[in-house]
Homo-oligomer: A and B are copies of this chain.
Amino acid sequence: MSRTPDTWILAAQCPSRLGTVDVVTRFLKEQRCYITELQSFDERLGERFFIRAEFRPEHAGFDAGAFEAAFVPRAGEFDMTFELTAPGTRPRTVILVSRADHCLNDLLYRYRIGQLPIDIRAVVSNHPDLEPLAAWHDLPYHHFPVSPETKPQQEAQIRAVIEETGAELVILARYMQVLSPEMCELLSGRAINIHHSLLPGFKGARPYHQAYEKGVKLVGATAHYINNDLDEGPIITQDVASVDHTHYPEDLVAKGRDIECLTLARAIDYHIERRVFLHQGRTVVFAR
């Protein structure tokens, strides 16, 4: 495997300045950590620096706490924020769904075979339909119905689940409800949505029907972090499939499922591998 079971990840960003790479790589050397993969990028227009290193301690007694404590002052000199991720880390995750189950089914399959290293604590839905699917994977399922009147209360229920489970990641796997600004704020940078169009084209409801009306020859999907502005969050990854005149709206819906699944799964993979960096509404993705 590309990442072996003893591989750590260090991801960091800071303003551009001479020595940004060196402060990271010299420290890793001093700590006797062998860098197996490294990517850095300087965003010239925004003067912002991003770095991601996979490394393997060359000695038995690697102590993450000591490592972080020793690195903090050095990072501080560069106004650098960083995150250290241990081998085998599986972020606590809550998945939100509505009725469509293709993304959930796909994610749970990858989860089951160990290809998606997340720790799913709950599946939450405004409909009861997908409970059996969650149950088959031995996952708690919360059915929180929603109506225009009960929306705030329902969102409070969801928030409670997120907080009680200590979820670090929230996946909107075709959850068809708009979240409140407060909720978006709360989940900033840790909630990934899949939208079934190639944003910024066809925002909002029924994008495949919009695409049909427009007569496009490609349909797409966009995985993005949610933010206050509906379907405007920072894009992580996108994909397309070609279609033609024989595809009525329902055919686009069917054809789009595969693209949605793949795009969402890839975005999550990038996120948990710390390949995605957020800065001012855009992403740097050290994709693979």
Contacts and interface: CB of A to CB of B under 8 A. Distances in A.
A228 interface: no
A16 B38 contact: no
Interface stretch (A26-34, A141-149, A171-179): A26-34
B235 A216 contact: yes
B40 A35 contact: yes
A206 B99 CA distance: 39
Interface of A: 1-2, 4, 16, 18-22, 25-26, 28-29, 32, 34-45, 51, 58, 101-102, 105-106, 109, 113, 115, 136, 198-202, 214-218, 220, 234-240, 244-248, 250-251, 254, 257-258, 262, 281-285, 287-288
B246 A41 contact: yes
Contact of A214 (B1, B16, B216, B235): B235
Contacts of A199: 201, 214, 216
Given A106-B109, A199-B201, A244-B285, 7 more contacts: A18-B29, A21-B35, A26-B26, A200-B214, A217-B236, A244-B288, A245-B284
A2 B42 contact: no
A223 to B, nearest CB: 9
Contacts of A40: 35, 37-38
A160 B286 CA distance: 44
18 contacts: A1-B250, A2-B251, A19-B29, A35-B40, A36-B42, A37-B40, A37-B42, A41-B245, A102-B109, A115-B254, A198-B198, A200-B214, A215-B281, A217-B236, A217-B238, A218-B220, A218-B239, A240-B240
A12 to B, nearest CB: 13
A129 to B, nearest CB: 11
- Residue among A1, A115, A245 with the highest chain B CB neighbour number at 10 A: A245
A43 B31 CA distance: 21
A2 B244 contact: no
A285 B217 contact: yes
Contacts of A287: 244
7 nearest CB pairs, A to B: A22-B29, A215-B282, A201-B201, A38-B40, A36-B42, A245-B284, A217-B238
